[in-house]
């Protein structure tokens, strides 16, 4: 018999609202999306994988003071069902239900999360304004090359080749592919502000683009698949 996990109560309604916005964006790319939730240390970490970008997205939310370090759980649930439980208008205690949605069988990525510790900042990442400029140029290039395809080559395979060429390019003096920046903007992590802080972190074979609103993580080139620590991360 599965014991229901008590729904988390957030530090304030904004935490729930921001998490809801993140879930909606994930569901835009995959209506059947699952998310892995890890609570501990007064925070909830939410991991998702938007299939269009081949990256992991990480969003954290602060929990209320009465749900401190002793309130821990680790469960994978439906993103859509989780969204339905969230109280985003302040009328509830943080979630409308008495328990989180029932666990689901986790997709393969859910067992291969980035490590919690050992992250080091790496130089060479352009600033947020430059990242957004490069991203806009890449989108324009994709559209131009797609429009230039002759009718007999206007196929999904040809478009995928164009996309791979563009989104696998690295940014600045780093190994971070442009698709990670695209994911960050699409999920609401990269905001249009001149002094918006962004950083590139590394831990082993992992790369992580960090902003105040969330992180995008992926294995670096040649990193392969290994056994990773599955613990609460930070955005």
The CATH number covering residue 103 comes to 3.10.150
pLDDT band at 224 (very low <50, low <70, confident <90, very high): very low
Tokens encoding 99: 């328990």
Q: Which residues, including other chains, have CB under 8 Å from residue 174's CB and lie 6 or more apart?
A: 122, 124, 125, 200, 207
Task: Note whether 26 and 67 are same-domain residues.
Answer: yes
226 vs 61: which has the higher pLDDT: 61
The predicted pLDDT at position 227 comes to 28
Is residue 226 in some structural domain? no
Average pLDDT, the chain: 86
Is residue 233 in some structural domain? no
Its domain, for residue 107, covers 13-111
Is residue 183 in some structural domain? yes
Per-residue pLDDT reduced to its tens digit, 102-149:
999 989 999 999 998 999 999 999 999 999 999 999 999 999 999 999
Q: Which residues, including other chains, have CB under 8 Å from residue 103's CB and lie 6 or more apart?
A: 2, 75, 76, 77
Task: Note whether 89 and 157 are same-domain residues.
Answer: no
Is residue 7 in some structural domain? no
CA–CA distance from 59 to each of 62, 89, 174, 220 (Å)?
Answer: 10, 20, 23, 21
pLDDT band at 184 (very low <50, low <70, confident <90, very high): very high
Is 94 a residue whose pLDDT tops 50? no
Looking at 52, 84, 111, the residue that finishes a domain is 111
Is 90 a residue whose pLDDT tops 70? no
Is residue 225 in some structural domain? no
The predicted pLDDT at position 66 comes to 78
Task: Note whether 71 and 99 are same-domain residues.
Answer: yes
pLDDT band at 235 (very low <50, low <70, confident <90, very high): very low
* Long-range CB contacts (within 8 A, 24+) of 63-66: 63/8, 63/9, 63/10, 63/11, 63/39, 64/9, 64/10, 64/11, 64/94, 65/11, 66/9
Task: Note whether 106 and 124 are same-domain residues.
Answer: no
Is residue 187 in some structural domain? yes
Range 57-67 average pLDDT = 89
Is residue 232 in some structural domain? no
pTM, to two decimals: 0.86
Is residue 231 in some structural domain? no
Q: How far is residue 225's CA from residue 221's CA, in Å, rounded to a whole number?
A: 11
Task: Note whether 81 and 141 are same-domain residues.
Answer: no
Task: Note whether 74 and 160 are same-domain residues.
Answer: no
Report the number of distinct structural domains present in the chain. 2
The predicted pLDDT at position 193 comes to 82
Task: Note whether 138 and 191 are same-domain residues.
Answer: yes
Is 186 a residue whose pLDDT tops 90? yes
Looking at 63, 94, 111, the residue that finishes a domain is 111
């Amino acid at each position: 018999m599965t014991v229901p996990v008590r729904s988390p109560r957030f530090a304030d309604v904004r935490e729930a609202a921001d998490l809801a916005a993140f879930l909606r964006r994930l569901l835009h790319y995959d209506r059947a999306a699952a998310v892995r939730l890890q609570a501990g240390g007064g925070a909830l970490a939410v991991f998702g994988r938007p299939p269009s970008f081949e990256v992991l997205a990480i969003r954290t939310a602060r929990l209320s003071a009465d749900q401190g370090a002793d309130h821990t759980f680790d469960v994978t649930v439906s993103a859509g069902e989780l969204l339905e439980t969230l109280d985003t208008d302040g009328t509830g205690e943080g979630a409308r239900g008495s328990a989180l949605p029932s666990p689901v069988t986790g997709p393969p990525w859910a067992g291969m999360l980035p490590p919690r510790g050992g992250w080091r900042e790496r130089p060479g990442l352009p600033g947020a304004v430059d990242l957004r400029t490069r991203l806009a140029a890449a989108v324009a290039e994709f559209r131009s090359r797609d429009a230039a395809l002759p009718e007999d080559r206007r196929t999904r395979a040809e478009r995928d080749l164009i996309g791979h060429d563009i989104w696998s390019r690295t940014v600045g003096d780093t190994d971070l592919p442009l698709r990670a920046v695209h994911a960050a903007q699409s999920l609401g992590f990269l905001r249009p502000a001149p002094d918006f802080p962004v950083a590139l972190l590394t831990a082993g074979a992992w790369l992580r683009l960090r902003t105040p609103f969330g992180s995008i993580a992926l294995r670096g080139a040649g990193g392969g698949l290994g056994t990773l620590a599955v613990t609460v991360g930070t955005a």
